[in-house]
Amino acid sequence: MRKLGALTVLSALVFISSCAGVRIGRPSPLKIAASFEAAGNPDEAVKVLKNASLDPDLKPGAKREILTALAELYANQKDNLNAIKTLREAAQTGDGDPFIGLRLGEMLLREGLIAEAIAEFIALENRGVKTPSLLLGLGEAYYKNGRILKATGYLEQYLKIYPDDKKAQLMLYESYEASGNYPASRNALSGCAAILAEEDFALRMAMNWMRDGNPDEAVEELEKIKADFPESNFYLALACYQKGDLDKALNFFAQAPDSLADEASFFRALVLFELGRKAEAYPIFKKLALKENYSRYCAVFVK
Amino acid sequence: MPRGFLFIVLFFAALGHSFNTEDHLRILASSRWQGQRAKVALVLSGGAARGLAHVGVLKSWQEKKLPLDLIVGTSVGAIVGALYASGMDGAEIDRIIAGLNWNEIIEFRVTPSRILNLNSIISSEKMGDWMFSHMGDKKFSDLKIPFLCVACDIRTGEKIVFRDGDLIPAVRASSCIPGIFEPVEYRHRVLVDGGVVDNVPTDLASAEGADMIVASWTGGSRWLSDSRSIIAVLTQVISVSGTVLSRRQLEKADVVIEPDLKDVSPLDLDKFVQTSEAGYDATVKKAGEIEKMFLEKTLEKIKAAPDK
């Protein structure tokens, strides 16, 4: 899909260049690069555009087109840093094309340079740009930056335009969940159920119910996937523990799969401790205290 | 759609569900252990304009759903803490202060004819009116989150702790920078800024039974404006002495949030947006540690609880 996108960009730029008369008399570098790209030789396409961009006689508009196309090629090759560098160079050619700013923000986001991505997106927003891509970019950037309320605001706006974007819905669910808005979170999660595996969806829903203080609903969700998803035993145990059904919790913790063995042992030890069976709990805490994930919490009981 | 399908598939594959030990412990702490969980106090220091970073701290605190059982404030920390404890949310306080015209509530009194008998450079009456417009005539007992603030009796040098009665006189006294604002006469005392005796009162939080203390520290200014005005020098003197006094108090905190305010002076009221952002960012960075510490302290209480 991304490759198709790049080809479309290249083709569009080829067309525009032809109309604009870029280097009339010899084939446009965009055209040559597009043919290399179509022939499955992206490295050669990069070389052509890179050389073309160094031409000192190139007009700013033409240079911008070449650099934008070059950045797309880099992006396709997952060379995000070069894509960012090239887009920055393209942005310096003037005219403040919002497309370049948006792509730059998206690439920065993809590279994990969140603060820089936000700065790029905000600069566009301050210039009055309000496209769905920008709303999504800001929503995603703030979400990744831990700015939950801001993320929620942008994602809600974006989803009014594209209500079927499951990725955005999933981020919105996570944002609501993090801010403790559990009913809204359930709605958002239901909206993206189609793209989640059944057990993933049920597990997220069960965690939501437990966070919302309703372990009975969590048990109901988990029972649906219990037969095919052994991890559900751990979460059933957690829900029983939350409800105060400690014997049942112990039973379910014992059935947790190997992938959750340490986690189940830790919580099993907590239940045993609460039941007053401290002699059984201590060796478990002592053993887990040596493991990085549990050392801090187990140290409380072994010191 | 602005994004490719492949990218979406990769995104979901990478995202998956990944709940960790903290997620699981948090569920128990907020339900089964609710009555036994660790009691968390947030102590808001003085720092004049720098202390407005507490607004961002509280905004982030609220967004992250961090537990909060007690707020203790000094000086500007008392103002921000009282607003939050009275039920305003962090974003609302942020909006109000961002839109505040400080010139409207700071009334300079210096005139050539009054200079020799001057009690203060700035009147705090309008500040009191402003507080009233946002907090009404609330008493400490009306607050949604327990709150304490401190002031100093300028005659005896005593640290005065307010935990009951009318809220606004206590907050006004706690934030009354000596020499700049007129001392507040209240309960037969002559009171000035709590930062004079205790700029980050962690010991109060401890005395109130907090199991975990988080200090938001906005003192420590090493930045003096070029003007060398009376106000600049006075606030800097208080800031420097407050920092020295605060070292031992900060050691009593389990976690210290220290917003990056290196280019914000105690007088930079016009840098509120930057200051608040710094508080927000500093809290986001510490949120994970605060949460882990909270869970650890909660487990300590579970351990100490008598057998059922």
pLDDT value of residue B11: 46
Contact, A144 vs A111, CB < 8 A? no
Q: Is B75 a catalytic residue?
A: yes
The dihedrals phi and psi of B40, each to the nearest 5 degrees, come to -105, 130
pLDDT value of residue B57: 98
In this structure, the strands spanning B40-44 and B70-74 are: parallel
Contact, A79 vs A43, CB < 8 A? no
Provide the token pair at B94. 């942020």
pLDDT value of residue A19: 44
CA atoms within 13 A on the CB side of A181: 16
Instruction: Calculate the average pLDDT of chain A.
Output: 89
pLDDT at B14 over 50: no
Q: Tally Cβ neighbours within 10 Å of residue B173.
A: 29
- Give B219's pLDDT tier (boundaries 50, 70, 90): confident
pLDDT at A6 over 60: no
Contact B21 A263 (CB under 8 A): yes
What average pLDDT score do residues B162-168 get? Answer: 94
What average pLDDT score do residues B206-213 get? Answer: 97
d(CA B220, CA B217): 8
Q: Quick one: fold of B41-220+247-304?
A: Cytosolic phospholipase A2 catalytic domain (3.40.1090)
pLDDT value of residue B17: 62
d(CA B151, CA B162): 8
Which of B69, B193, B198, B268 is the catalytic position?
B193
Cα-trace Rg, chain B = 21
d(CA B180, CA B46): 15
Instruction: Calculate the average pLDDT of chain B.
Output: 85
Q: What is the pLDDT of residues A244-289, one digit of tens each?
A: 999 999 999 999 999 999 999 999 999 999 999 999 999 999 999 9
d(CA A137, CA A194): 23
What average pLDDT score do residues A61-88 get? Answer: 90
Contact A213 B30 (CB under 8 A): yes
Contact, B221 vs B262, CB < 8 A? no
Set of chain A residues whose Cβ sits within 8 Å of the Cβ of B63: 147-149, 179
B188 contacts chain A (CB < 8 A): no
- Give B2's pLDDT tier (boundaries 50, 70, 90): very low
Contact B31 A213 (CB under 8 A): yes
Contact B23 A207 (CB under 8 A): yes
Set of chain A residues whose Cβ sits within 8 Å of the Cβ of B26: 211
- Give A187's pLDDT tier (boundaries 50, 70, 90): very high
Contact, A296 vs B292, CB < 8 A? yes
Q: Tally Cβ neighbours within 10 Å of residue B165.
A: 12
Supply the DSSP symbol for B200. Answer: S
pLDDT at A177 over 80: yes
What average pLDDT score do residues A164-179 get? Answer: 92
The residue with tokens 């710094």 is: B278
B93 contacts chain A (CB < 8 A): no
Q: What is the pLDDT of residues B80-100, one digit of tens each?
A: 999 999 999 999 999 999 988
d(CA A207, CA A202): 9
